[in-house]
């Protein structure tokens, strides 16, 4: 059971947690009101509990969080408005946690839109039930809560995106790192009846250890940075360059068949041989190329490109070889 919970995404966990807390919070009131004969509010409370429980089961089985989050938010809002319509100002305090919860489950703009509609409906419900000054205080408080929640949610989302971006970038070269490469590989290998032309190219700088030994690691780092700059000057941004480890780099040639990718690899090999230097020493690169095959695993695809790279190394380096 614990493993099943840990395997859930952050969005699923938040939805399940909020759903569970809501059931624990609302169910006792529903039972008490049912015992007191307050049928209308009891039905609303129990309907909310049953609805949330149904959505939680739906998410647990299907793992479809997006639709469920919108449904839960709307369900909360409608239930809250219905309870206030019946009971009046006495239940206004339920509006605050309901609106804040929306920002935990939805994107900030979506939560703000739903909450704006709810505030408008709340004004319509209470306008003839409480003094205008009291209603104004409630509305101003809700507007401020939504404003602060929107700002907090937006800033948190931006910071999260920035952290994810930094976690996927090699700090030295600015290329994607191993984590980013694995994610891209998984994305490209999603089931597809007719996979697009995509080739994987693996680069390995020849005799790079000699550069570090002869000129020092600072010079070696400079060579890696210059290598990436040369590649970026020739390849497209969509081709996605990654540092796989050490002096080994990979990128996906998008929309390129094996012949086109091999031709590009040969151009890059010549560019590196002509431009890349450590002091006055020429640096060369060996390249392995492999086209994606239908139904092929990430491991097999990479191994074929790696075998082609090994063949290029064995042939004397400063060479390109393509996997058959």
Active site residues: 247
Q: What are phi and psi of 108, to 5 degrees?
A: -55, -45
What number of other Cβ atoms are within 10 A of residue 148's Cβ? 12
Q: What is the dihedral of CA 33, 36, 39, 41, to 10 degrees?
A: -30
Tally of CA atoms within 13 A in the half-sphere of 214 that contains its CB: 11
Q: Is 280 exposed, middle or buried (0-12, 13-18, 19+ CB in 10 A)?
A: exposed
Long-range contacts (CB closer than 8 Å, 24 or more residues apart) made by 88-97:
88/126, 88/129, 88/130, 89/126, 89/129, 89/130, 89/134, 92/122, 92/126, 92/138, 95/122, 95/138, 95/142, 96/141, 96/142, 96/145
Contact 78, 122 (CB under 8 A): no
Q: How is residue 290 written in tokens?
A: 């492999």
Structure tokens given for 184: 């891209």
Q: Which neighbouring-strand residues pair with 285?
A: 205
Which DSSP category does 289 fall into? E
- DSSP 3-state assignment of 156? helix
The C-alpha atoms of residue 41 and residue 82 are separated, in whole angstroms, by 9
- Sign of CA pseudo-dihedral 161, 167, 173, 175: negative
154-171 burial string, b = 16+ CB within 10 Å, else e?
eeeeeeeeeeeeeebbbe
């Amino acid at each position: 059971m614990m493993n099943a919970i840990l395997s859930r995404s952050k969005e699923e966990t938040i939805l399940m947690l909020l759903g569970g807390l809501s059931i624990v919070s609302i169910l006792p009131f529903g039972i008490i009101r049912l015992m007191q004969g307050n049928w209308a509010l009891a039905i609303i409370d129990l309907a909310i509990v049953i609805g949330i429980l149904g959505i939680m089961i739906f998410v647990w089985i299907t793992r479809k969080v997006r639709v469920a989050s919108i449904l839960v938010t709307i369900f909360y809002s409608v239930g809250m408005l219905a309870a206030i319509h019946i009971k009046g100002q006495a239940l206004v305090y339920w509006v605050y946690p309901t609106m804040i919860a929306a920002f935990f489950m939805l994107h900030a703009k979506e939560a703000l839109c739903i909450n704006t509609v709810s505030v408008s409906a709340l004004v319509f419900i209470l306008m003839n039930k409480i003094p205008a000054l009291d209603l104004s205080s409630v509305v101003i408080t809700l507007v401020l809560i939504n404003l602060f929640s929107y700002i907090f949610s937006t800033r948190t989302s931006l910071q999260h995106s920035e952290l994810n971006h930094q976690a996927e970038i090699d700090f030295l070269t600015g290329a994607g790192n191993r984590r980013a490469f694995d994610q891209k590989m998984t994305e490209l290998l999603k089931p597809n009846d007719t996979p697009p032309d995509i080739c994987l190219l693996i680069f390995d700088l020849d005799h790079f250890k000699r550069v570090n030994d002869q000129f020092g690691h600072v010079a070696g780092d400079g060579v890696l940075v210059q290598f990436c700059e040369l590649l970026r000057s020739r390849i497209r941004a969509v081709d996605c360059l990654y540092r796989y480890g050490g002096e080994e780099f990979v990128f996906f040639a998008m929309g390129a068949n094996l012949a086109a990718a091999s031709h590009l690899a040969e151009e890059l090999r010549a560019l590196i041989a002509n431009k890349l230097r450590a002091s006055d020493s020429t640096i060369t690169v060996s390249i392995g190329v492999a086209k994606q095959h239908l139904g092929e695993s990430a491991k097999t695809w990479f191994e074929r490109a790696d075998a082609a790279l090994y063949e290029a190394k064995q042939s004397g380096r400063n060479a390109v070889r393509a996997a058959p």
